[in-house]
Structure 1
């Protein structure tokens, strides 16, 4: 999305910017492949395990991350066909898929991690009552309500705050006004950065502190509890490290772009690099679970063993 609304610079840097998009699309392919394989394995392992609120939440997170991963490869594959590439460039489908659907799924992934963090926080602060408070129907209802809320907010950001304009044969989204541009940036920072980031950092700190108490040490003797909690902490650390750069870039390029004197090519290079880091967030959970969870490793080994051809 062209937040600055500057279309004149696009003419000078158009070829360079297209080259950036092309390079990063191909760089994303191994990340996308890793994410698809890893998240599918997570979903299969979780589906084979017993039904618990924790398994449902981690399964939902894997499904959302899987959906987020598909968008880039789908567009790249479509671009391999000249006719399809021309059609997508001249229609609103590409920009709707990339901007609205892509950011809606990314936002849902963020808030799903918040819900998982809440579940873990309650599991360690009220362990004797958590099963009555956090039930499977309530978890599913919370995730469904979250999905609706995220979709509504993203609709406001991508359809009411901006207008679609045709430029050089391609559609782009531009803010309807300076006020709408600020709404776009501020709403992203409040709803998809500030609130979830602060909660995830604070709750993770509380969980780690609780685990160091005598009561927490008793709780952590459970192998399953230890593995799931470790998975969450690592996922939260990974989420912060891979998402902070993109969030900072959005604000810096909007409020301080003129003072740091970046041309449009440099701006897009920085923006695409930060978004590349965000894609890593959707691909790394499987490897974190493998590293931190013995039961998950054993479940994956059993899964692969079941696919192996028996020796005669």
Structure 2
């Protein structure tokens, strides 16, 4: 499922790059959300390769570049989802004014702000690393106290707590507003139609469900689960148990980047139709290329 989500997110980008979506702010946000998810998924793949094949870093520059590029997706993905949640809330709460409020200029500024902030945070994390040819990139001892006391909590706030709270509030308000509208329209024979807002609401719920366990264990266990120095066997066993839970919940949190494409596909009728059209167009172009190549060989 992890590997199928990389081409799935690429397909999402191809669909949303179509001409009819070029001036739709939601489509722009979803493109960069899919791009951030691709980075997260490549990070998972790289971590698996690093663990199984014992990848050795060649220099501190190698460490900085690798960590900066891969960690940026971890920040950008939830922050882009925050932007989309606010945009969907505005579209539900003020549908007549949302186009005037959320112009393409505002949308581009929001995307630029999210990615500049994400690159800034990831490069800051990379600056605390030190190079050891026999080990993966690790936090320099000179900065360890500051990093695990303050920087870890700042990271945790940006990639978990703040997005979780904002997305939760937006989702609750959206559900309340949609429920009121559904009750008002229940007198008619029309059924409640699925929309982009409903699809993104499901994406929000997936984010909340997959992020909550990791956020909770980090909050209860001091935010950062670090190595414990103790000779007490019980303390060591408890710490190893918490590490196992933390790693399990970390894997669960990565599922957020995996499942977005499947949510679009299952809940979005238009998305499935657009996907079908894209594949049909690719097939026609391929057949046309083959026929042209054959005709040239015959002549």
- TM-score, reference length from structure 2: 0.77
Name 2:158's counterpart in structure 1: 191
**Aligned counterpart in structure 1 of residue 32 of structure 2, from 60, 71, 87:** 60
Paired position in structure 1 for 2:138: 172
Match for residue 125 of structure 1 among 90, 93, 111: 93
TM-superposed deviation, 1:204: 0.7
**Among residues 91, 98, 122, which one is paired with 1:154 in the alignment?**
122
Match of 2:103 among 135, 149, 164: 135
1:261 maps to what in 2?
235
Per-residue displacement from partner, 1:145-198 (whole Å, max 9, x unpaired)?
A: 121123223333442xx3425384544224624343121232123322222211
| Aligned with residue 280 of structure 1, among 255, 258, 264 | 255
> Retained in 1: the 8 A contact 2:74–2:159?
no
> Is residue 21 of structure 2 the alignment partner of residue 50 of structure 1?
yes
Could you tell me which residue of structure 2 aligns to residue 35 of structure 1?
5
Q: Does 1:234 align with 2:206?
A: no
CA distance in 1, matches of 2:137, 2:250: 21
Determine which structure has greater relative contact order: mean sequence separation of CA pairs < 8 Å that are 6+ residues apart, divided by chain length.
Answer: 1
Deviations 1:198-235 (A, max 9, x none): 111111111111112248966xx999x84211111111
Question: What is the alpha-carbon distance in structure 1 between the residues aligned to residue 14 and residue 190 of structure 2?
Answer: 23
TM-score by structure 1 length? 0.74
* Cα distance change, pair 165–266 in 1 and its aligned pair in 2 (3 A): farther
Q: Which residue of 2 aligns with 1:23?
A: none
RMSD: 3.4
Within 1, Cα distance between the matches of 2:51 and 2:145? 33
Unaligned runs of 5+ in 1: 1-29
Q: Residues of 2 paired with 1:262 and 1:99: CA distance?
A: 29
Match of 1:203 among 170, 177, 193: 170
User: Rg bigger for which structure?
Assistant: 2
Over 3 Å counting, the alpha-carbon distance change for 1:166 and 1:138 in structure 2 is: same
Distance 2:158 2:201 in 1: 21
Report the CA distance shift for 1:222/1:242 in structure 2 as closer, same or farther (over 3 A): farther
Aligned residues of 1:210 and 1:216 also touching (Cα < 8 A)? no
CA distance in 1, matches of 2:126, 2:236: 25
175-184 or 118-127, which moves further after superposition? 175-184
Task: Tell me which residue corresponds to 1:300.
Answer: 275
State the Cα distance separating 1:255 from its structure 2 match.
6.2
Which deviates further from its counterpart, 292-301 or 242-251?
242-251
Q: Pick from 264, 284, 291 the counterpart of residue 266 of structure 2.
A: 291
Judging changes above 3 Å, is the alpha-carbon distance between structure 1 residues 109 and 256 closer, same or farther for their aligned structure 2 residues? closer
Q: Is the 2:161–2:215 contact (alpha carbons within 8 Å) kept by the matching residues of 1?
A: no
Q: Is the 8 A contact 1:114 1:200 kept in 2?
A: yes
Residues 47-97 of structure 1: per-residue CA shift (max 9 Å, x gap): 124320111111111111112222333465578888xx34x2x43356435
> Is 98-107 or 226-235 further displaced after alignment?
98-107
